[in-house]
Chain A
Amino acid sequence: MTEALRIRGLAKAFDKPVISGLDLDIAAGQLYALLGPNGAGKTTTLRMVTGLTRPDAGSIEIFGVDALADPIAAKAITAWLPDEPMLYDKLSPLEYLAFVAGLWRMEPHVASEEAERLLHWLDLWEQRDTRCEGFSRGMKQKVALAGALIHDPKLLILDEPLTGLDAAMARAVKDALREQVDRGKTVIVTTHILEVAERMADRIGIIGGGKLLAEGTLDELRDRAGTEGMTLEDTFIRLTSGA
């Protein structure tokens, strides 16, 4: 099976070690949930994958591209959606998408058509010319999601994508992510909402103390934790309690 992400020996320390010798493999075409207690290093790991933070040691491959040696090629097939949307308040959604499309060197007519499709799909078409500064958090998250999707990334990485969204918005985002996976894309999400991981994720990785504590399908994790028939929350607490 093709690997979307392959991490070996990843390490990062700020004042103290945050990630120490992390190994992680994520196969292509699945939705992978990366879980962990607060401060476990989830966001730091993903920032290193996206090139925003330089690791102290280790290697990162995205679809076989060495992300540290050839970051431009790796970025070209990756999208990053942080918990705080990366938006310009004074640009409209359409203008924002035009800028993002320029950064990813998209053909103008392709980008324009894709922007229209995404704005319709995310129910933002009516607001396409309205500046983002007055948007709710949910709307901003959707604009940012459109920005992440417009260049059709093979790997979509989202940090807490559902935080602060109402039920309808959260459903829209979840549907969008599932559709990406159905189209053969790979999606990695971090979330504190374990029910989301339980229902949506094909595989789940649990980070604690800077290392991968456990990884697998929900059933595999239950087997390992000895929590057959119990929820992911029980399994998560059991697996991370010693971390």
Chain B
Amino acid sequence: MTRLAPGSFAWLARHELRLAWRGRRRGGKRQALALVLLGLYLAAGIAVAYLLMGVPIDYRAEIGIGILAASVVALSFMTTQAILGSQQTLYESRDLDLLLTAPIEGRVVLLAKLAGIAGAIALTYAGLLLPVVVPVAILGHPHLLGVVALLVALALTAAAIGIAVTLTLASIAGPRAARTVGQVAAAVLGGALFLFSQLSHGGQGRRSSFAVIFEDLRAWGWGENGWSGVPGHAAFGDPVSLAILLTIGVALFAGTGAVLQRLFLSGYQDAGMRLSRARPTGKASARLFHAGLFRPVLAKEWRLLARDPGLVFQVILRLVYLIPLMLVAFRGSGGLIAPGLAFASVLVATQLTGSFAWLAVSGEDVPELIAVAPVHKQRVDQAKLAAALLMAAPIAALLPIAIATVGRSPLGALISLIATAIGGTIAGYIELKLAKPGQRSAFAKRRGGSAIAGILGMIVAAIFGGGAAAIVYFIG
């Protein structure tokens, strides 16, 4: 094995890539399952490659548009990942203390961190693409190895954008605001394309939004030549397109290291100093103390949620992702607003209470404090479930109110409200009983802990939402 000079960029980059790789590894059964799935996926890729042997795969404008769209979507998700990775590097990682006290240039540290972020991103997508693309390329279509280069270029670009966004925000608004805005920006980027596709073509009957966009782009001549065809041509191994994309990626990567070195150092140095907030609550101390268990638990849960805008946004974003389902519900109700709203109301309530209950119970930051307190865990959990329901109630009540006003069905509103309350309570209870403990910051990945809780939550939403919609439909 080649020995890299200790302290060099390559040496540090290898260290970061090793960390990124180890961060992916799972222990025991999960790793075995992942390997089995990867093996099956690879086998499917090889089968596809054999099927495509001898079949000409030539570039067409339609393919070019598809690759362009996939590249834009992938870049937006990659940038999301890069922003979160940059935030972790700047505000949560502890190894910068070690790296920045070592006799190594800050620029080298920054570039190595960028390499680690890009590597983590590339790994994510490599697992999805390469088991299919590489066999197909080896078995008769070598030009498709351009996909690998396209992936590398996108990962480099996303890493550079991600850290640039984070550092710029930190220098303008301070590390605290950068962290919050970054989390929100990452969530928006992740959902923006999806939302755009759903909302921008909402009025064209049952045709897929993606199909409408695709036809528009085809009509405008996209994907053939010019810049819109570059990703597609690169994926098909065109050397000029590959050179353009890789040059952009590498230039952004290296340029970020050179230009943002100072911001990086000051951003990190400030992060440790300015993250605390000394804003007075303005409340008399006696008002903070309440009798009984419920109010202190509710106050604590509310404060922890309200002081984490990134988390609030993630919860809200989950509702945004429900919009297509709601649109389906509206279409399915034959134009009747009230049944669709009744279904949506239960769906929203189950999602919200499920999320809040997970945060309150599984996402408990200090479980040992609860464990040593002289209260039964069941009582604390009940208080937390009640807190989750209360926090969800203002939003969950909106749709039943809409049924009463827009849908002009007070009885339907009452039925929806009851179904919403029951569905929400059951969804919260499922989280209490089945969800696995995790960190609040890992809210987005909480389903990795218990898929059963997620499935049961959806079943509850379907049963109570469907039931409420049916009753509201029949009572007119």
Contact = CB atoms under 8 A, between A and B. Distances in A.
A129 B318 CA distance: 32
Contacts of A80: 368, 372
A92 B376 CA distance: 26
A116 B289 contact: no
A178 interface: no
B286 A108 contact: yes
B279 interface: yes
A94 B285 CA distance: 7
A86 B373 CA distance: 12
Contacts, number: 119
Interface in A69-111: 72-76, 78-80, 82, 86-92, 94-95, 98-109, 111
Nearest to B304: A90
Interface in B278-318: 278-281, 285-286, 288-293, 295-297, 299-300, 303-304, 307-308
Nearest to A47: B368
A158 interface: no
Contacts of A133: 275-277
Contact of B374 (A94, A104, A112): A104
B180 to A, nearest CB: 12
Contacts of B300: 88, 91, 95, 99, 102
A128 interface: yes
Interface of A: 50-52, 72-76, 78-80, 82, 86-92, 94-95, 98-109, 111-112, 115-116, 127-135, 147
A87 B368 CA distance: 10
A74 B368 CA distance: 15
Interface in B150-191: none
B266 to A, nearest CB: 18
Contact of B289 (A78, A115, A127, A134): A115
Interface of B: 274-281, 285-286, 288-293, 295-297, 299-300, 303-304, 307-308, 365-366, 368-376, 380
Contacts of A92: 281
Contacts of A76: 374
B149 to A, nearest CB: 43
Contacts of B290: 98, 102, 108
Contact of A131 (B285, B307, B365): B307
B371 A100 contact: no
B276 A107 contact: no
Given A51-B372, A91-B303, A130-B277, 20 more contacts: A74-B374, A75-B373, A78-B372, A80-B368, A86-B369, A88-B365, A90-B308, A94-B285, A95-B281, A98-B299, A100-B373, A103-B370, A103-B380, A105-B292, A105-B293, A108-B286, A108-B290, A108-B291, A115-B289, A129-B279
A135 B276 contact: yes
Nearest to B274: A134
19 contacts: A72-B374, A74-B374, A78-B372, A86-B366, A86-B368, A88-B300, A90-B303, A91-B304, A98-B299, A100-B373, A103-B373, A106-B289, A108-B286, A108-B289, A115-B285, A115-B289, A127-B278, A130-B277, A134-B277
B291 to A, nearest CB: 5
Contact of A50 (B278, B299, B372, B375): B372
A103 B276 contact: no
B372 A95 contact: no
Contacts of B292: 102, 105
A129 B303 CA distance: 13
B272 to A, nearest CB: 9
B376 A94 contact: no
Contact of A103 (B275, B288, B369): B369
Residue among B285, B286, B308, B375 with the highest chain A CB neighbour number at 10 A: B285
Contact of A128 (B274, B285, B369): B285
Contacts of A79: 372
A78 B289 CA distance: 21
Contact of A51 (B274, B279, B293, B371): B371
A101 B369 CA distance: 12
A82 B293 CA distance: 23
Nearest to A76: B374
A103 B375 contact: yes
B299 A99 contact: yes
A100 B372 contact: no
